[in-house]
A and B are shown apart, each in its own frame.
Chain A
């Protein structure tokens, strides 16, 4: 097997990988290799033809393909080596990759690696919907690819389960293409998608959203002929007498995303049971020195802007590691407190300012996000609206950290 030596290898050519490769190069890494298994860069953005990308990072709303193109253009002529149609077969804890393409197998020895492998959609099997197994049950992202890239139609009458952002976006997209969207059902008592998508994708087209409602049966042998909806009570059971049949030929699932970390597992990287992504420090370094992670492989984002920003930092850290062989080690553990589902990074050194990202467990109004070390509040910010669907980002300045203490707690408080 041929062997190549690089300073930084980035796995995945989506928005996270593009940002990581660019910043690694700009931070002085000489040989940067970007590996993408698909035939083009840009990842999932290529099928996200709606607009609204980039408002946080560039102050302007772009469509997905436009946002991706900005990064692809910036990457051109930087000397970053891009390998498309190339799959990473293996990865080891001493930063060796085996990659496969039409050139055959190549061993890549990397000074540092950034994993930007994105995420996968939860499927019917993952949420165990009973019923028959006809054609016509799709995940939202697959329908998005069929419609927006391949010019394929999926059905005439659709029910959407789950109010995640992609499901809402597809409700509008299907409606615009003349497909009848019967309703969106959401098992939780509140929407899983961003408020602006509820407004622009459902309310604009008078598509009903049924909360605390789910699909309890799928009917049809060859093709979906309908589904049964039912109300779900506070303890998670079906509310008696609320079952009703809805005729449709397609069921679209928008029931969550799972970070894709098969490679991380192979390398022996520690994953968080909450996010399903690696445990990282404030340099986005995983439990294995020299292997970094950013984007949806680390945590599922609602905005690509933050996936880019995070991975930019991961790429910069990787370039630094490839040069110096190490990074300052983290000494402060970050713990989610009252009302917080998770906080990233999981540990920090306290020597540099840190942009934390977090999600709350349930919707709240007019509360504070409080960072505490011992009894001392080191940062607090008022939040008018808190929702699990909206990731919260907060920066803590380096002089606020108390480096003598070994932990920091983030909580929702009055």
Chain B
């Protein structure tokens, strides 16, 4: 069995969790202040995920950039690959927050969406 301290980053409280796990699953967590920690810690051990936030240039807008994010957390090991994919993307036309900029990025099933407006 494995043991370790993991900071839960679901919310800013940043609980330092004592976790125990084996090869297959999370066995116990201690010192969590809410029930959201279980899912996060389990993911963090077996399949860590992150929301990627960055910017892409606009075509016409008053603002040179719009901010974008993955609509859902994506596997952590893909973060830099997603950045590479977005390095060559330019947002077309007028962009509003919520618009899909790249659909199903790298086959993750997750869209890259705008989080700000181009104008």
A is bound by B = yes
Among A49, A56, A66, A149, which residue has its beta carbon within 8 angstroms of that of B54? A49
B12 touches A196 (CB 8 A): yes
> CA separation between A195 and B31, bound complex, in Å?
15
Residues of A in contact (CB 8 Å), total: 34
Interface of A is mostly: mixed
Report chain B residues within 8 Å CB of A302.
12
B31 touches A384 (CB 8 A): yes
Query: Is there a chain B Cβ closer than 8 Å to A86's Cβ?
Result: no
> CA separation between A385 and B86, bound complex, in Å?
39
> CA separation between A220 and B76, bound complex, in Å?
38
B9 touches A149 (CB 8 A): no
A151 touches B53 (CB 8 A): no
Residue ID in chain A nearest B6 by CB atoms: A199
Among A55, A63, A147, which residue has its beta carbon within 8 angstroms of that of B11? A55
Among B14, B33, B51, B67, which residue has its beta carbon within 8 angstroms of that of A195? B14
Residues of B in contact (CB 8 Å), total: 30
Closest CB in chain A relative to B77 CB, distance in Å? 11
Among A64, A303, A385, which residue has its beta carbon within 8 angstroms of that of B16? A385
Residue ID in chain B nearest A65 by CB atoms: B116
Closest CB in chain A relative to B85 CB, distance in Å? 12
B69 touches A63 (CB 8 A): yes
B14 touches A194 (CB 8 A): yes
CB-CB under 8 A for A51 and B51, given A148-B67, A149-B63, A199-B7: yes
Report chain B residues within 8 Å CB of A199.
7, 9, 14
A196 touches B14 (CB 8 A): yes
Closest CB in chain B relative to A46 CB, distance in Å? 7
> CA separation between A37 and B48, bound complex, in Å?
42
Closest CB in chain A relative to B69 CB, distance in Å? 6
Most buried by A among B14, B16, B79: B14
Closest CB in chain A relative to B100 CB, distance in Å? 15
Report chain A residues within 8 Å CB of B76.
204
Residue ID in chain B nearest A365 by CB atoms: B16
> CA separation between A176 and B8, bound complex, in Å?
22
Closest CB in chain B relative to A128 CB, distance in Å? 32
Report chain B residues within 8 Å CB of A390.
12, 14
Query: Is there a chain B Cβ closer than 8 Å to A69's Cβ?
Result: yes
> CA separation between A140 and B12, bound complex, in Å?
21
Among B9, B55, B80, which residue has its beta carbon within 8 angstroms of that of A196? B9
Query: Is there a chain A Cβ closer than 8 Å to B50's Cβ?
Result: yes
Report chain B residues within 8 Å CB of A195.
7, 9, 14, 16
Residue ID in chain B nearest A385 by CB atoms: B16
> CA separation between A146 and B104, bound complex, in Å?
29
Query: Is there a chain B Cβ closer than 8 Å to A240's Cβ?
Result: no
Report chain A residues within 8 Å CB of B54.
49, 173, 176-177
Residue ranges of A at the interface with B (Cβ–Cβ < 8 Å): 46, 49-52, 55-56, 61-66, 69, 147-151, 173, 176-177, 194-196, 198-200, 204, 302-303, 384-385, 390
Query: What 5 A-B pairs are tightest by C-beta distance, nearest first?
Result: A195-B14, A49-B67, A65-B116, A196-B9, A63-B115
Known: A56-B12, A69-B116, A196-B7. 12 other contacts (CB 8 A): A49-B53, A61-B51, A62-B115, A63-B115, A65-B67, A151-B55, A151-B64, A176-B80, A176-B83, A177-B54, A303-B12, A384-B16
